[in-house]
Amino acid sequence: MDRLLQQRPGLADTLAPMPDPVAGRPMQAASFRNADAWLPGALRHSPPPALPSCSVVQVESAGNRPLVTIPRGTELTTKAQPACRFRTIYDVAVAPLAIATARFVPCVDMPPTLGVPAGAACAIVIAIESTDPAIALDDAAAGPIRLFIDADPATRAALHDALFTRTLCTCVQAGRQWTQLAALPFAPVGCAADEALLPAAADRQPVGPSPRERHGLRLLAEYFAFPEKFDFFDIDLAPALARCPAGTLRLVLHVLLPALPSAGSLQSLAPSMLRLGCTPVVNLFSRAAEPLPIAAQRNTYPLRAFPLAEADASLYSVDAVTLLQAAGDAGLAIELPRFVALRRVQADRYWLVRHAGTAGGPEATISFVDSEQRPLALRGGTVAVQLTCTNGDAPASLPIGRPDGDLTGSGAAGRYPARFLRRPSTSSSPASQHGRAWRHSAAHASGDGASTQAALPALLALLRLHAPADSAAVQRQLAGIVSLDQRAVKAWLRFPQGAAYMHGTEVRLAVDVAAFDRSSVFVFAQVMEWLFAGYAGEEGFTRLVVVDLAGRELVRCAARAGGVLPV
């Protein structure tokens, strides 16, 4: 109908009242069958948005400069032309630190007084040092240090799983002094709400997924679209430095492990594979739209990003719409809310954005409606629109590897060389193309809340919907998910207000470890943990346990409550 309205406005106006049900019902049926653009987005499980170009960037330290933190959301611009802009995903700590040693040791050799656990057969050794003799480690590392695993897939997966699923204990060496830590100093990265690749969507439909469910689905989409986002981990040096002499400049972590089937993949571990000062980046940036002078009797306006001498900017989202009108000596600025069905801010004017469904014409248009979604003509003034934009596939074709760095920024980000560690990816296609939006909704409808063996096909269908079909490694990984089971459990859960004894569900997922030789079982378990947590009841919890084909436990995730402390 929208296409008919554009191409044959006279005919569309004739059909609009639709008094004849014989003619009206076929028109409604045809509109429903062809509503790929708008209707899926109004369903409970709308398809995930297209993912712009992504990469991993390293901000290189100047050696002896003091600690500087580049916050999440900092914009970086490529030096290669046409210039493209990226936004950082993690905070980046630029500090006078270096990874002096990173190696796999096939035997354990340390003082017997430490009380090495039985079964310790090998170790991973990581040495961290200050690059400035005047700055001790406790000053150079004011908080946990974040490392990016820049290695081949097999080594990366083996290292991640060894650190988080096989570690027996961690010992600290500072000079001739040795100490055993009481807890694991490592923490995974990538699953927190403030580590998302994409900005949180505003004005969600009230019938949509809960925030927990959206969180799990977002992680699932990111895991398959840009898995490098999860190839990070943190090391908390505070417990180790508390056991070291004051002014320590270097310490060594000895991570004791049992005999590992994946030991061969760790033989190549080297310091260059653990990189400091890194963050994922996504090709998103803020840009103002061309001003929209309001004309009488006009309701719809083209929406275009203000042109700059950079790569073409295409619309990703509309962040703010402001109506500017004259009011005496001072102007009047009125914030206009977005129109969202069934959930609206009380106002008399709203805006709607529609993306072009046909070739030619503006990429998107903005129109103004009243509370009943009827067209509304504004009375004079100018509309200012703030956008989030992307450069499409332009970043993927840029050359990388400049000696002086690939990107620059303002403020602290402009004082340090920043370079791509991965070639920027191509942007993913919108999920609405070729019926994917309907398949997305169908996959969720068949798998909502189910975690039994009978639901395994539905789970695999959901995973394959997000997984790249042209990746043999990913398809092999999915084929390695062999069973799904559940049982009722009870446990004490802690909340900020106290603790509660709750009923929950333990989900057991069996995998073929051989199918995960190029991807971490632990990282996959973290993503699946949050996916299942989205379906927990408000007064219940879920706990994921991943086992191998023989039933041996590989990963036991934390219990995830469905809500707050029950009354």
Helices 456-466 and 436-447 cross at an angle (nearest 10°) of 150
What lies within 8 Å, CB to CB, of 402 at 6+ separation is 79, 80, 419
**Measuring CA to CA, how many Å separate 495 from each of 491, 498, 515, 542?**
13, 5, 37, 15
**What's the pLDDT band for 168 if we cut at 50, 70, 90?**
very high
φ/ψ bin of 410: left (φ > 0), alpha (ψ from -120 to 50), beta (otherwise): beta
Pairwise pLDDT comparison (223 vs 203), residue with the higher score: 223
Pairwise pLDDT comparison (310 vs 10), residue with the higher score: 310
Which pLDDT score, from 0 to 100, does residue 440 have? 59
Domains of the chain: 2-34 (no CATH), 96-185+236-275 (3.30.70), 286-390 (no CATH), 433-561 (no CATH)
* Spatial CA neighbour of 323 closest among 336, 310, 306, 304: 336
431 pLDDT higher than 50: no
One-character DSSP codes across 117-181: PTT--EEEEEEEEESSTTS-HHHH-SS-EEEEE-S-HHHHHHHHHIIIII--EEEEEETTEEEE-
Which pLDDT score, from 0 to 100, does residue 445 have? 57
Which pLDDT score, from 0 to 100, does residue 360 have? 47
Which pLDDT score, from 0 to 100, does residue 464 have? 92
Average pLDDT over residues 444-452: 53
Pairwise pLDDT comparison (141 vs 154), residue with the higher score: 154
Pairwise pLDDT comparison (210 vs 64), residue with the higher score: 210
Separation between Cα atoms, residue 44 and residue 40, nearest integer Å:
9
Which pLDDT score, from 0 to 100, does residue 91 have? 96
Output the six-digit token pair for 517: 């030789």
Average pLDDT over residues 51-71: 87
Average pLDDT over residues 349-354: 90
Give the pLDDT confidence of 513-553 residue by residue, as tens digits: 999 999 999 999 999 999 999 888 778 899 999 999 999 99
Element (H, E) at 20: none
Separation between Cα atoms, residue 554 and residue 97, nearest integer Å:
33
What lies within 8 Å, CB to CB, of 465 at 6+ separation is 436, 439, 440, 443
Task: Tally the C-alpha atoms within 13 A of residue 76's C-alpha that lie toward its C-beta.
Answer: 37
Which pLDDT score, from 0 to 100, does residue 22 have? 65
Average pLDDT value for the chain: 86
Which pLDDT score, from 0 to 100, does residue 357 have? 53
Q: What percent of the chain has pLDDT over 90?
A: 60
Separation between Cα atoms, residue 66 and residue 524, nearest integer Å:
36
Which pLDDT score, from 0 to 100, does residue 289 have? 94
Which pLDDT score, from 0 to 100, does residue 188 have? 97
Output the six-digit token pair for 526: 């973290």
What lies within 8 Å, CB to CB, of 438 at 6+ separation is 36, 40
Whole-prediction pTM: 0.88
Count Cβ atoms below 10 Å from residue 276 Cβ, excluding itself. Answer: 21
Which pLDDT score, from 0 to 100, does residue 78 have? 97
Give the pLDDT confidence of 19-39 residue by residue, as tens digits: 566 666 777 776 666 665 555
* Spatial CA neighbour of 244 closest among 117, 148, 127, 94: 127
Which pLDDT score, from 0 to 100, does residue 432 have? 43
Residue with tokens 């993690």: 90
Count Cβ atoms below 10 Å from residue 447 Cβ, excluding itself. Answer: 21
Hey, what's the torsion of the CAs at 496, 497, 500, 504, to 10 degrees? -50
